[in-house]
Structure 1
């Protein structure tokens, strides 16, 4: 069994609206992420999203490590793919490339990543999240467990959509027309 955690619980404060619900080519980013993970051959998909029906953070407001920590408690596999909902240009082939290693990410991009599902990892995450001044860096987390950094053959696939400008850039990369854009300026 292979498992994946989709991180879709951020505040989307820089975007001004929920990134998981943005639509690209008629599908929400959350729907696209689920379809992508399935296309990569993963059969256990967990969604970290602080809403009913999803996995909620045990440490609310503590960032992506809190989402990883909470969802990892439900993972059945020895390793787990973790990806953010806001990288819509990722491909199944790129995820499969990461899945070849027990702990991996692309060089210069801590997410998506494959992480080990061990007691040691769960303890490390809990310990960091309980500290008053934790190191909540995903990069530091990955380095603590011997991450293998892989060169990404398609840097554009790692394009992140945290702001309206980044979102517009992704739409242009997809060849989407502005009339299909589901983002409305606040």
Structure 2
């Protein structure tokens, strides 16, 4: 099963005021965090779509596969089209993961992959047009996992109404997940600050739990 990803990162980030992909996060950049999340879920290929930031993205992420969108001014869908044009015929499905959704967990991607795999076993028809969308507390989030039949549709679409409109014309499979990160976007400085605070709180909780576990082990007498 070959599952890839398209990461649109060519936007001007006008509301943020600086390139979202290159913002520092968790000891790296926002883009690096998303790349690492997909790599841990064995997603391949991971196609990062760049724009005017292409040179800097390449310098900061030399191990990433970068494709330059020739028309980033046409919006995110044009970046998704750039990625779709590069996907090979042997792809089974692919994620579309906007760069401003940095907190999705790798286990969520694995969960979506499993749902797709189970469906493919029951319905191996390559022409199926399905999107598997993570849902947290009743709300749909990102990233959707699209079956390969969407590649042709995305390539040929005029792109006037965006990906959401394309998906609404076909079956959407809602996949419940315990991951608030699928709903957390980062389009403004205030939203970015909250993302950083959320990560810091998670890291503090993890360190505390590790210390408690370590202390418990030290207090446990040898058998």
Q: TM-score, normalised by structure 2?
A: 0.69
Q: Distance in 2 between matches of 1:145 and 1:125?
A: 16
Query: Which structure would you say has the larger Rg?
Result: 2
1:128 matched to which residue of 2?
Answer: 158
Give 1:20-99 correspondences, 5 Å limit.
20-50=21-51, 51-52=54-55, 54-76=66-88, 77-99=91-113
Answer whether contact 2:84 2:154 (CA < 8 A) is retained: no
Q: 3-state SS of the aligned residue for 1:112?
A: coil
Give the number of equivalent residue pairs: 170
Answer whether contact 2:5 2:45 (CA < 8 A) is retained: yes
Indicate whether 1:17 and 2:18 are aligned: yes
Answer whether contact 1:46 1:55 (CA < 8 A) is retained: yes
Answer whether contact 1:110 1:139 (CA < 8 A) is retained: no
Of structures 1 and 2, the one scoring higher in RCO (CA 8 A, sep 6+) is 1
Deviation at 1:125, TM superposition (A): 4.6
Any unmatched runs of 5+ in structure 1? 177-186
Deviation at 1:37, TM superposition (A): 0.6
Q: Distance in 2 between matches of 1:37 and 1:123?
A: 24
Report the RMSD for the aligned CA atoms in angstroms: 2.1
1:180 matched to which residue of 2?
Answer: none
Structure 1 residue aligned with 2:180, among 130, 155, 161? Answer: 155
Answer whether contact 1:98 1:114 (CA < 8 A) is retained: yes
Moved more, 12-21 or 144-153: 144-153
Deviation at 1:144, TM superposition (A): 2.1
Structure richer in helix, relative to its length: 2
Q: 3-state SS of the aligned residue for 1:36?
A: helix
Any unmatched runs of 5+ in structure 2? 59-65, 117-129, 202-223
Q: Distance in 1 between matches of 2:148 and 2:181?
A: 29
Indicate whether 1:146 and 2:178 are aligned: no
Q: TM-score, normalised by structure 1?
A: 0.81
Indicate whether 1:114 and 2:145 are aligned: yes
Deviation at 1:170, TM superposition (A): 0.8
